[in-house]
Structure 1
Amino acid sequence: MTPGPPKAETLGTRIRRLRTERGWTQRELAEPRYDRGFLAKVETGQRPPSDEVLGYLAERLGRTVGELRFGRPPGAAEALWAELDQGYRALGQGRVADAEVVFADAGKRAADYHLADVECYARFCLAEVRWQRFDVAAAMSAFEHAGLLAAAAPPWLRAMIVHRWSGCQFLSGFAGTAIASVETALAEVRAAEPVDADAELCLLTALIHPLVEMGGLRRARRAAEEGRLAAALATRPDFVARYHRQASQVWQTDGLVERAEADLTEAVRLFASLGHDRDAARCRWARGYLFRHTGRLDEARAELTIARDALTDVGSEEGVFGTTIELAEVRRRQGAPDEAEALIAGIRPLLDSARDVESLGEVHRMLGLIAQERGDLPGATRLLREAADDQERGSLRGALVTTSLYLGDVLRARGLLGEAVSAYQRGVRAAVDTDSGPLG
């Protein structure tokens, strides 16, 4: 672990300490450019050194200006980056509490050393802890906290902060804001010369899911194709893996199931090679989703069960939450509604506390369909209306089209023809708006 700076050590005291450690007199350090009396005043604090003086002394003492000014040991920044990288791997492997301690400690030392880029990374990592615990509001605030230092961060980290913050916005029902923030950041990356391929890939990846869910399929397809080109130039394998995972959603929507499976297989391989257990499990979750949507329910159940167990092991409440909803839908389709309801009951506290409009709409629709299958048409009507309201609030046009169809059918079965027509019309409006951009 990189030590922190000596407590209450002034700049002059530090210069004297480094000088005496080398066995030098004041004259030996000061000459040939300055004299002994001048250095004596610097060491006692009577004469603050100019940047020029500080640069000269740093070079003579074998330090960078920043190391001398702030008391950083040589290589402090690199050591702290390595600690944070190691902590991030620990987070992905389920050692959440240990990782949080590493992030907080490294962030404090980075602040002490005035290493704004490293402190930004530490703040980002702490935000990832909040995300893994599925505290969406706290995660969003923490990503904003990291963003305050983003100007000092490398492009890939700035892009990841936008990626994660926009994801929190999307879950909170602000899909238009989420997409606009990513597109603004993407334009800024592309305006720079040279374009940073990792940052570009990260932001293109961030666009795919919200665009698909909002019905912006042409734009999502374009992001996936542009991402494929950026991935060929990217240097971060975790970004490439994350791209493959998200691109699979586009190919699935286009009916290109083999291409979607191939992307997910590559994503699993890359994440596993990096020791990112959480992300590898999320790829299996995506594969279960793919199997469900292609009617391979037994395979979906097996894959989602494995993913859910793995995400439980690494402490990813967000992942357990999502896989449980998917698994419940699979069991409903397999004719086990009681088990589906029990699965949802198990995550009900998290569902009630999380600001995840997308999942809330999916759960309400699922429970509405279970009520319909049991012949409880009034209950089905209420739940499907709640689902449609959730989906409209979140600008989830594709899901709203499907829910409106189900709701219209239930209302028609109850003889409420006028209300059924209104429900169908709501779905038609959502379908017409598909690919036209965010709902205003």
Structure 2
Amino acid sequence: MTSAPAEPLGTRIRRLRADRGWTQRELAEPGYDRGFLAKVETGSRPPSEEMLAYLADRLGLTVDELRFGRPPGVAAQLRDALDEGYRDLEQGRVAAASERFASVAKQAEGYHLDDVECYARFCQAEVKWQLFDVEGAQAALEHAEELADAAAPWLRAMIVHRWSGCRYLKGDAGAALARVEEALGVLEGDPDAELCLLSALIHPLMEMGGLHRAQRAALAGRRLIRSATRPDFVARFHRQASQVWQAIGESERAEQDLIEASRLFASVGFDRDAARCRWARGYLLRRLGRLAEARAELTEARDQLAAIGSEEGVAGATIELAEVRLRQGAASEAASLVNSVLPLLTQDVETLGEATGLLGQIAQAQNDPVSATRLLREALEIQTRASLHGAAVSTSLRLGDVLRQRGHLDEAIAAYRRGLDSAEVTDP
């Protein structure tokens, strides 16, 4: 794709006139005289808005096509290029996607297509997200947001969704939730955008102990599905809502949501997100005690995510796989799996806390209570700082049990008390 031409307006008018084989008189009359058009073409006189509209109509163009040198239909072509690049990204062709996004962003800027440029900037943020560069993704999203007033509601919602995700991964769950709720508060009746924002609420609420609020978001989202037009947004909602159904004991409903999400993502070529659904289903199967099925699903999800370069996905699926192997009695293999992805977790506070706590459980299984105590304490501190109250409750209980078994009763009581404090923050 070529860059937008840096061509003076007068020169462009002269070129378009000449392309049609017209004289200055033939283009100018009857609205304007030939001499005035000559001055416009040489750049000595700028055209008025009225003259610009007149000339655009005579040339069969819109005013902006004439003003900015946009070829007819270029906006739609650039959006199509971004859609294709996003599928490249989802299928692991990161370099090709990144190159396409940069090219479109440059052209959109040259053609003054703010909505298309905003979309291109968002796609560039998605490259950072795919590469697990949380800081870079957040900065790119904020760059996209500079043009968000020109963007469609669905894109503005997706920018907020991803920005919230970045803040959450960095341990600022409160800011993540506040931003999504603020965006929902000013949203005006767009079902795709609303579904996107409701999806963004569910996981942080669940991890902060807000099950009832998460359930309200899931139920509100279900009412929107029939009105939504974007299958990827519907799929993303199904994947997030499955967490709620799991938490309230509706496992069959949760599994059906994950299967439907995977189907929808696959139907639009979003391989990365389809693999993340397999990861989520593996988590559900582990919770249901179907460990052999969980191991197979998580192994496949991890391998698919590795093939398309999704480091964040690889890390999460590997941690889940390690927990399955621990429950199957393979503590050494579980430890090896966790340690293999620890370097990837510096920007993902939630998974770092989970991984550290899991290493504590592994140490306990290997009859190393001293290491278990240290690791569980580290995990609890990470989770508490990040307001991950649900995870902190579980870690506090494990830590208290280890301390009690070691005979440190006062410390055990203190750990249990911290768990109670975290539980009190969750909604009733």
- TM-score class normalised by the smaller sequence: over 0.9
The aligned residue for residue 403 of structure 2 is: 411
> Is residue 2:340 matched to residue 1:362?
no
CA distance in 1, matches of 2:376, 2:164: 27
The aligned residue for residue 106 of structure 1 is: 104
Q: Report 1:209-358 matches (<5 A).
A: 209-351=203-345, 354-358=346-350
Deviation at 1:4, TM superposition (A): 2.8
> Is residue 2:145 matched to residue 1:147?
yes
The aligned residue for residue 5 of structure 1 is: 4
Deviation at 1:377, TM superposition (A): 1.3
Gap runs ≥5 in structure 1 = none
CA distance in 2, matches of 1:333, 1:146: 44
Q: Report 1:169-184 matches (<5 A).
A: 169-184=167-182
CA distance in 2, matches of 1:178, 1:38: 57
CA distance in 1, matches of 2:425, 2:118: 39
Aligned with 1:347: secondary structure?
helix
Question: Where do 4+ consecutive residues of structure 1 move more than 6 Å?
Answer: none
Whichever residue aligns with residue 360 of structure 1, its letter is L
* Aligned residue among 64, 77, 80 for 1:82: 80
CA distance in 2, matches of 1:374, 1:323: 23
CA distance in 2, matches of 1:321, 1:207: 22
Aligned with 1:98: secondary structure?
helix
Whichever residue aligns with residue 265 of structure 1, its letter is I
CA distance in 2, matches of 1:113, 1:307: 41
Deviation at 1:70, TM superposition (A): 0.9
> Is residue 2:153 matched to residue 1:161?
no
* Aligned residue among 198, 208, 216 for 1:204: 198
Deviation at 1:33, TM superposition (A): 1.1
Deviation at 1:74, TM superposition (A): 0.6
CA distance in 2, matches of 1:74, 1:144: 30
The aligned residue for residue 56 of structure 1 is: 54
The aligned residue for residue 373 of structure 2 is: 381
CA distance in 1, matches of 2:226, 2:44: 57
Whichever residue aligns with residue 16 of structure 1, its letter is R
Deviation at 1:393, TM superposition (A): 1.0
Deviation at 1:71, TM superposition (A): 0.8
RMSD, aligned α-carbons: 1.0
* Aligned residue among 360, 363, 366 for 1:371: 363
* Aligned residue among 398, 408, 428 for 2:390: 398
User: Once the two structures are aligned, what percentage of the paired residues are identical?
Assistant: 68
The aligned residue for residue 113 of structure 2 is: 115
Whichever residue aligns with residue 376 of structure 1, its letter is D
CA distance in 1, matches of 2:397, 2:336: 26
CA distance in 1, matches of 2:230, 2:166: 23
Tell me the alpha carbon deviations over residues 212-256 of structure 1, each in whole angstroms, 9 at most, x when there is no partner.
Answer: 111100100000000011111001011001100110000000110
CA distance in 2, matches of 1:34, 1:69: 18
CA distance in 2, matches of 1:347, 1:420: 30
8 Å contact kept, 2:5–2:110 = no
* Aligned residue among 411, 419, 426 for 1:427: 419
Aligned with 1:375: secondary structure?
coil
8 Å contact kept, 2:3–2:103 = no
Gap runs ≥5 in structure 2 = none
8 Å contact kept, 2:265–2:274 = yes
Aligned with 2:112: secondary structure?
coil
The aligned residue for residue 36 of structure 1 is: 34
What is the TM-score normalised by the length of structure 1?
0.96
Cα distance change of structure 1 residues 390 and 59 upon mapping to structure 2, 3 Å threshold = same
Deviation at 1:348, TM superposition (A): 2.4
CA distance in 1, matches of 2:15, 2:208: 62
* Aligned residue among 45, 48, 52 for 1:47: 45
Aligned with 2:379: secondary structure?
helix
Q: Which moved more, 1:139-148 or 1:239-248?
A: 139-148
Whichever residue aligns with residue 396 of structure 1, its letter is L
Q: Which moved more, 1:198-207 or 1:314-323?
A: 314-323
Q: Report how many residues are paired.
A: 428
